[in-house]
Amino acid sequence: MLPVGEVEPSDLESLDLLIAGAPTQAASPSPPMKDFLENLPKSAVEGVDVAAFDTRMTTRWLKIIGYAAGKIGKQLKKKGGNLVMKAEPFYVTGGKGPLKEGEMERAAEWAKELVKGRE
Ligand SMILES: Cc1cc2nc3c(=O)[nH]c(=O)nc-3n(C[C@H](O)[C@H](O)[C@H](O)COP(=O)(O)O)c2cc1C
């Protein structure tokens, strides 16, 4: 697991599964995730299983402008990745977090489902 701003090209060699997640900021992935996705070489994800998640607020009107996870998933797919799970949101309290109660456990379940059969 790496912070997205610290990923080196060598970290992307021979991937079995790439999980990318970021906070939603202004209806989009955070700037470091945007940079990562823009610069991600197709060769690193072509044919690789991929999954995306975000963190976001529960404020209803924000639904109108959208969120990060779907956009991350779409870009990974565009680069040739094989999206294996529906992009998943995890909800934070207020504008800054922390995660709402139960969300950490839900994230663990989501991740468990993803790695099932890969060990
Ligand atoms: C500049 C900025 C813009 C944000 N825009 C949105 C937004 O459009 N929709 C949303 O649901 N949350 C938005 N948020 C809330 C973040 O998603 C929330 O703070 C984040 O998920 C918390 O995770 P973190 O602690 O890893 O940053 C925004 C937060 C910041 C700081």
CATH at 83: 3.40.50.360
What percent of the chain has a predicted confidence (pLDDT) above 90?
92
pLDDT, position 16: 94
User: Would you say 20 and 4 are in contact if contact means Cβ atoms under 8 Å apart?
Assistant: yes
- Regarding the beta carbon of 95 and ligand 1, being less than 6 Å apart is answered yes
Q: Is 33 exposed, middle or buried (0-12, 13-18, 19+ CB in 10 A)?
A: buried
Domain encompassing residue 66: 4-115
- Residue 69 CA to residue 56 CA, distance in Å, equals 9
User: What is the average pLDDT across 31-37?
Assistant: 98
> For the whole model, what pTM was predicted?
0.95
56 lines ligand 1 (CB under 6 A): yes
**Contact by Cβ (8 Å): 48, 13:** no
pLDDT in tens, 64-98: 999 999 999 999 999 999 999 999 999 999 888 89
What pLDDT score was predicted for residue 118? 85
Rounded Cα–Cα distance for residues 3 and 10 (Å): 15
- Determine the atom of ligand 1 nearest the C-alpha atom of 55: 21
For ligand 1, atom 30, the nearest C-alpha belongs to 25
Q: Is 12 helix (H, G, I), strand (E, B) or coil?
A: helix
Ligand 1 site-directed mutation target among 53, 54, 55, most atoms within 8 Å of CB: 55
Q: How many domains does the chain have?
A: 1
